[in-house]
């Protein structure tokens, strides 16, 4: 039963896969957040056939000492994504743009937040051009991220295009903000870390709005630790863990437009 449950697990967000997901029997998405981590993810995906996302995190692009030329930093990430999308092998595994977004925990100054915002706008546009969903980092900036994404999505629908597909990674906002996300048809991702607000969110939102993640190695140590998030959802919703795993995996598969739940294509 344990092996069956492991196989059903779908971790929608893990970093540094060589360390956190090597040999994993379950499906996972290896997530980039910088030029360097994107290259790491691309190399691992090419060698092992795992799903991946490419991103430019707000906590990353705000760093003037690392990205003295903001436009060049953003353009490099766009080049990585556009190249991967054209690659016959990688394009089948490239499932999202992310993590991207806004972060008021680390971004304190006006300049840092302006850099984050400019990068976020470009990443939203990039996702639209490549027809990929967005995986959002929104630490202490949930309200701002939601407003920006809703506005961008409304512009798309007004122009006859489908709305943005959005996954709120490691969501740490309030219940009302989580409800706005669910009402917009977005997914709220639950990490293996409990708190009182997350309990309210899990109990209030329908299972169809939830997925699980490890955020390894930063919250979970390994990708498989996303199982703890599934167990927490099951506990708060008074369900069987295997039912949560099945639903969360199905939600992830539909969101990422995957043909099946296997780790490899």
Distance CA 103, CA 57 (A): 9
Structural domain spans, the chain: 2-255
Evaluate whether 229 touches 213 at the Cβ level (below 8 Å): yes
CATH of 2-255, picked from 3.20.20.70, 3.60.15.10, 3.20.20.140, 3.40.50.970, is 3.20.20.140
Structure tokens at 126: 């990039």
Q: Each residue of 217-232: pLDDT tens digit?
A: 999 999 999 999 999 9
Torsion sign over Cα 254, 255, 256, 261: negative
How far apart are the C-alpha atoms of 53 and 180, rounded to whole Å?
Answer: 24
What does the pLDDT read at residue 30?
99
- Give the model's pLDDT for residue 14: 99
What is the chain written as a DSSP string?
-HHHHHHH-EEEEES-HHHHTTT-SSEEEEE--SHHHHHHHHHHHHHH--EEEE---HHHHT-TTT-SSHHHHHHHHHHHHHHHHH-TTGGGTEEEEEEEE--TTT--SHHHHHHHHHHHHHHHHHHHHHT--EEEE-TT-HHHHHHHHHHHHHHHHHTTPPPPPEEETT--S-HHHHHHHHHTT-EEEE-S---HHHHHHHHHS-GGGEEE---TTTSSSSGGGHHHHHHHHHHHHT--HHHHHHHHHHHHHHHTT-SSS-S--
pLDDT, residue 260, reads 52
- Integer Cα distance of 188 and 142 in angstroms: 12
The pLDDT assigned to 23 comes to 87
Comparing CA positions, the residue from 178, 102, 158, 167 lying closest to residue 132 is 167
Residues 6+ away with beta carbon under 8 Å from 150: 180, 184
User: Could you read off the pLDDT tens digit of each residue along the chain, which spans 265 residues?
Assistant: 455 556 599 999 999 999 999 989 899 999 999 999 999 999 999 999 999 999 999 999 999 999 999 999 999 999 999 999 999 999 999 999 999 999 999 999 999 999 999 999 999 999 999 999 999 999 999 999 999 999 999 999 999 999 999 999 999 999 999 999 999 999 999 999 999 999 999 999 999 999 999 999 999 999 999 999 999 999 999 999 999 999 999 999 999 999 754 444 3
């Amino acid at each position: 039963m344990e092996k069956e449950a492991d196989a059903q697990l779908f971790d929608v967000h893990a970093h540094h896969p060589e360390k956190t997901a090597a040999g994993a029997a379950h499906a996972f998405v290896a997530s980039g957040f910088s030029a360097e981590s994107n290259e790491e993810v691309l190399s691992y995906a090419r060698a092992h056939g795992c799903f991946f996302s490419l991103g430019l995190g707000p906590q990353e692009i705000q760093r003037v000492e690392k990205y003295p030329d903001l436009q060049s930093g953003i353009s490099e990430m766009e080049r990585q994504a556009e190249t991967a999308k054209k690659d016959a092998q990688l394009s089948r595994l490239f499932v999202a743009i992310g993590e991207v977004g806004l972060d008021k925990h680390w971004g304190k100054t006006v300049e840092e937040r302006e850099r984050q915002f400019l990068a976020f706008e470009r990443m939203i546009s990039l996702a639209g051009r490549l027809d990929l969903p967005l995986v959002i980092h929104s630490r202490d900036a949930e309200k701002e991220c939601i407003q920006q994404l809703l506005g961008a999505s409304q512009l798309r629908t007004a122009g006859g295009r489908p709305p943005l597909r959005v996954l709120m990674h490691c969501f740490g906002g309030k219940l009302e903000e989580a409800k706005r996300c669910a009402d917009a048809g977005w997914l709220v991702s639950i990490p293996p870390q409990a708190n009182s607000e997350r309990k309210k969110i899990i109990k209030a939102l329908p299972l169809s709005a939830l997925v699980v993640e490890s955020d390894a190695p930063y919250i979970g140590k390994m990708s498989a630790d996303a199982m703890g998030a599934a167990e927490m959802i099951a506990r708060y919703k008074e369900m069987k863990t295997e039912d949560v795993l099945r639903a969360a995996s199905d939600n992830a598969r539909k969101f990422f437009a995957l043909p099946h739940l296997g780790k490899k294509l």
